[in-house]
Structure formats: structure tokens, C-alpha cells
Amino acid sequence: MNTKNIMTYIFIYIILYIQSIYSLDLTVNTTDIPGYLIHKYDKDKIVNRKGLRAFHGRNYYCRNDNCISFENGNGHPPLIEFPDENGNIKRYILETCGYEEPETFWYCSYRYKYNDTSSYRIKCYNDSDCFYNKCISQRCVYNGDSSVTHCDTIYKYFSIFEYSYIHCGKDYEEPCNKNSECSSNECGGTDIDICSLSVKEPSDSDENQFEKIEK
């Protein structure tokens, strides 16, 4: 082995060693999770899916017909407290990766800043750790068999009329085949088709000019 290869291996080892020191593993069982990394359960903010109303500026994650809303454009914490199938409050990993076999992941960071020198690494160890109930290689991934659905308020207009309605389907950046599969009602991409995270909303002038109809 020549000197160049030896130096390369030493450099890689040093980088991996530094990462292991300055990265803290974070799981659903971690006891001292910083508040900004978890959405705390509040029963007053849980809405039944049948009761969802078209409301611009918010999107919903629903599991077993229980829904929680988040503000559009601001993302969400990587962890969430949410009722399980039996109504018990449980902690889940909400941040979910796109996945393509055998080992291709995308659109998930799983690293969150702790301080100036270290960060958190979020890991799952069981399917039940994940909001979408699927864990692969310590990452939560989308699962077509999950009871989870994502919902958006879709805005449409025609001539002098406009209307808004709730549309539920796949999450933002989840793999898709057609528009109707996506909560945002828009599927597209380059190498892989994914659900768009862009949702059209009416402008102030639209709201004043058109007659609004909610479905």
C-alpha cells in the first residue's frame, strides 16, 4: 500500500471518529429531547379526519383518523407525540425518507444541530418507532400500507368563481405516479417523480374578488 492510500485511509478514519464524538444518537426513547425537536401532544389540537375543513395556510397529518395540523412552509419537528391504535399517547419519528431498493434514501437529513460543535442523529430501530410504521437501516421511510395520510387545502378558480377543498394522499416529496396520489395534487420530478410541496393559495386580491365556496 503506497503512502497516498495510507494517508487517505487515515483521513477517512479521522473524519468518522470526529463524527462519532460530536454526533449524539436520538431515538424515540431518549429522555432529554430538546423541545424544538418534538411536537408535544395536545388533545385540543387533534381533529377527526371527517371534521377537516378547507383552511389555507395549514396542512394535516392523519393517522387512524386522528389529525394534527402544521403551518404551510415551516416544516415540522422530526418527532411527534400522537395517539396510537389504542388511543395511548406514543412518541414517533415523523421525519420520513423517500426510499428505493436496495439502499437509496432521499429527502431526509436526520441530523439536527445541538450546539456549535455537535448535532443529533435521529435513528429508528423498529417499525413501530416510525409514524409511517416502516424502519429500514435506522431510517423511517414511507410505507404504502400505513394508515397515515397527508392532507392539504387545494385552491381552484374558474372565471369569476373559486373554491377550496381538502385533498388527502401522499406526503410532500413522497414518490408518486400521478397528481391525484399527492395531497398537494401535483406529482413530478426529474429522475424520480415525487409529490410537490408547493400548494397554491389565494392572494388577498383573489379573496376579495371571488366568491369562495368550500367543499
Distance CA 125, CA 59 (A): 28
pLDDT for the residue numbered 209: 40
pLDDT attached to residue 119: 72
Rounded to an integer, what distance in angstroms lies between the CA atom of residue 121 and that of residue 150? Answer: 25
Residue 6 lies in a domain: no
Gyration radius from the chain CA atoms: 21
**Distance between CA atoms of residues 69 and 151, nearest Å:** 9
Residue pair 114/120 in contact by the 8 Å Cβ criterion: yes
Candidates 183, 178, 174, 195; CA nearest to 154 is 183
Structural domain includes residue 183: yes
Residue 212 confidence (pLDDT): 39
**H-type alpha helices, the chain:** 3-22, 204-209
| Dihedral sign for Cα atoms in the order 137, 139, 144, 145 | positive
pLDDT of residue 214: 40
Task: Please report whether residue 86 resides in a domain.
Answer: no
Structural domain contains residue 182: yes
pLDDT score recorded for residue 76: 85
Distance CA 70, CA 68 (A): 7
pLDDT of 60? 95
Question: Residue 10 falls within a domain, yes or no?
Answer: no
Residue 96 covered by a domain: no
User: pTM of this prediction?
Assistant: 0.77
Is 84 domain-assigned?
Answer: no
Question: What's the sign of the alpha-carbon dihedral 163, 198, 107, 36?
Answer: negative
Question: Which pLDDT does position 14 carry in this prediction?
Answer: 42
Residues 82 and 45: beta-carbon distance below 8 Å = no
* 180 in a structural domain: yes
Structural domain count, the chain: 1
Handedness of CA 155, 159, 160, 161 (dihedral sign): negative
Alpha carbons 122 and 79: distance in angstroms, whole number:
9
Start-to-end CA distance of the chain, whole Å, equals: 70
> Residue 80's pLDDT is what?
95
- Look at residue 55 in the predicted model and tell me its pLDDT: 83
Give, for all 215 residues of the chain, the pLDDT tens digit: 555 555 544 444 444 444 444 467 788 998 888 888 899 999 999 999 998 988 888 899 999 999 999 998 777 888 999 999 999 999 999 988 877 666 666 556 555 565 555 677 889 999 999 999 999 888 899 988 899 999 999 988 776 778 899 999 999 988 899 999 999 999 988 778 889 888 877 765 554 443 333 43
Domain that holds residue 160: 148-214
| Residue 151 φ then ψ, to 5° | -130, 140
pLDDT of res. 46: 93
Give the pLDDT score at 31: 85
Beta bridge partners of 93: 79, 130
